[in-house]
Amino acid sequence: MTSVRSYGPSLVLLATALTVLLFGPSAVRQIAHAQVDADIQLARNELSTSPVLMELNEAFTQVSEVVEPSVVHIIIKRRQPTRTSSASPRSMPPNMPERFREFFEQMPGFDRPEPAPEPDDYRRFDPSRPAGNGSGWVYDTAGHIITNHHVVENADEIEVRFADGTERPATVVETDPATDIAVLKVDMDPATLHPAALAPSPVRQGEIVFAFGSPLRFDFSMSQGIVSATDRQLNIIDQGTGYERFIQTDAAINRGNSGGPLTNIRGEVVGMNTAIAAGGGGLGGAPGFIGLGFAIPTEMVQRVADQIIAQGRVSRGFLGVIIGELDPTLAETYGYNGRGVLIVTAQEGGPAADAGVRSRDIITHVNGQPVGTISELRYTVASIPPLTDVEVTVFRDGQSLDFTVTLGELPERMAQAGFTPPTNAPAAEPDAHGNAMDLMLKYGMNRLKSFTNADARQLQVEHFPGVLVRSVRQGSRASLAGVTDNSVITEVMGQPVTSVDDLAAAVAEHDPDDPIRFTIERYVPRFREFQTRVLALDLPDSE
């Protein structure tokens, strides 16, 4: 055996040399190519028969089959915001004689004083248009949908599309900006809904996860990765004042994934996709995923959603203390060398003060769990229902002391508690023209007046009879139909109108539930001319 091993390599080398001499380099290449082909085929056979790979591949596919029926695509629709004039025209001098007013209005830089913006009550008559999209997931058979607050914020209408193509309008039950969680409701047969399963325990670093949703409007997409980290605080929710314990993942998350579920290998929801650390170079030049995605843990989502569904709002525990970070240098001045949170002020009459906690105490534990940062303390306390007794451990004068504190309820933030939103200005009185002018406002045509010679001179056109529409509400039905500022209405349902009284009478004769046809002369400033348009306007049946 020893002699064979000794001469073996030499024989192989000799055979190779003889092959090269007899058949040339091409034969060597053919032999090498054949060997590569054989290696490829062997590897392919092993891959195709590997039970581990087949099981893993099948598991991934089954996760998709389990989760996708629970995922929804959310379409956000908005109406055009009410336009306010950016110009600041000089006001007409007081006590201007009536005979000079018409002349005065024609002077450059002057205009009639702008009326107060039309009340938003009229915006509900304007059609809404798609303005954004996001993702969500079915929470229960009652039709509750979970998504992010930032997805549905400022939406005028919300539409939900299921994986089978079914579309339903959705209403907002309530949102919680402090956690960026929102609960929607759709009216559907419970038997047709497929609620997602929730993970029974928190996800751990290193677990395989899958992100579902509609990234960049690619509906019902799925990506895979691992949990890179847990308990991340980014200070991005509610202007940095929210409650955060993000799951960090490298599963691809992009714009549009917000609100979609993040699941484990069993298809159970472990979190809700919420944020990304975006980089350049995404689709169409938009910021794209760079390997850092963040999701709200399921336990937080479930706690908030259950409260919203049960009581219509979220209540949180309240200690009644003003707190500050405790760095090592500051801790040293108190003779303390551990982690904790400094109580700057224990508010008089607050739950903590009533239990004996003092200002300048250092909170080290709540219910036996260490708290080392402000965010940890805030999250821990806020997660406990009001009126619950908790054990608070503090460091004071070299001693560790325990107090039983009955939590209060966290009050609304100062900005909300001390601010009363202004009510919309009341609608102008319909005066003698009654409901006819109200209908014109619903269509979006404001500041109607009889078209006069003075108006024609100001627009540098020949005068003709009609009713001048001084302004049109952006995003309204009239605006979308092509009516512009300074258009002139000349006919209603084929009936000529020469004054506001004529217009009101013609509109009043028509059933407001049916479309009304208008003939207008649309002013084109570039050419200082009018172009005739015929159009019909109507309102939704529900109005």
Residue 9 burial (C-beta neighbours within 10 Å; 0-12, 13-18, 19+)? exposed
Q: How many other C-beta atoms are found inside a 10 Å radius of the C-beta of residue 374?
A: 15
Q: What is the DSSP string of 483-512?
A: --TTEEEEEETTEE--SHHHHHHHHHTS-T
User: Is 88 known to be catalytic?
Assistant: no
Which one-letter DSSP state was computed for residue 165?
Answer: S
Residue 219 and residue 161 in contact, taking contact as beta carbons nearer than 8 Å: yes
**Separation of alpha carbons 375 and 357, rounded Å:** 20
Catalytic: 194? Answer: no
Phi-psi region of 311 (alpha: psi -120 to 50; beta: other; left: phi over 0): alpha
Distances (CA, A) of 538 to 199, 440, 518: 49, 10, 11
Alpha carbons 422 and 430: distance in angstroms, whole number: 23
Cα–Cα distance, 316 to 298 (Å, whole number): 18
Catalytic residue among 258, 471, 479, 487: 258
Distance CA 391, CA 372 (A): 16
DSSP tally for the chain: helices H, then strands E: 14, 26
Residues 73, 126, 149, 180: which is the catalytic one? 180
- Distance, in Å, from the CA atom of 429 to the CA atom of 434, rounded to the nearest integer, reads 8
Give 367's DSSP letter. T
Residue 410 phi/psi, 5-degree rounding, is -60, 120
CA 534 vs CA 188, 270, 531: distances in Å: 41, 56, 10
Give Cα 537 to chain centroid, integer Å.
32
Rounded-to-integer distance, Cα 475 and Cα 118, Å = 13
Which segments of 165-219 are extended strands (E)?
Answer: 167-176, 181-186, 208-213
> Given 73, 144, 150, 365, which residue is catalytic?
150
- What is the helix (H) or strand (E) element at residue 64, kind and residue range? helix 51-67
| 533 neighbors 520 (Cβ within 8 angstroms) | yes
Helix (H, G, I), strand (E, B) or coil at 460: coil
- Based on the residue annotation, tell me whether 258 is a catalytic residue of this protein: yes
67: exposed, middle or buried (Cβ count in 10 Å: 0-12, 13-18, 19+): buried
**Largest Cα span, the chain:** 128
Catalytic residues: 150, 180, 258
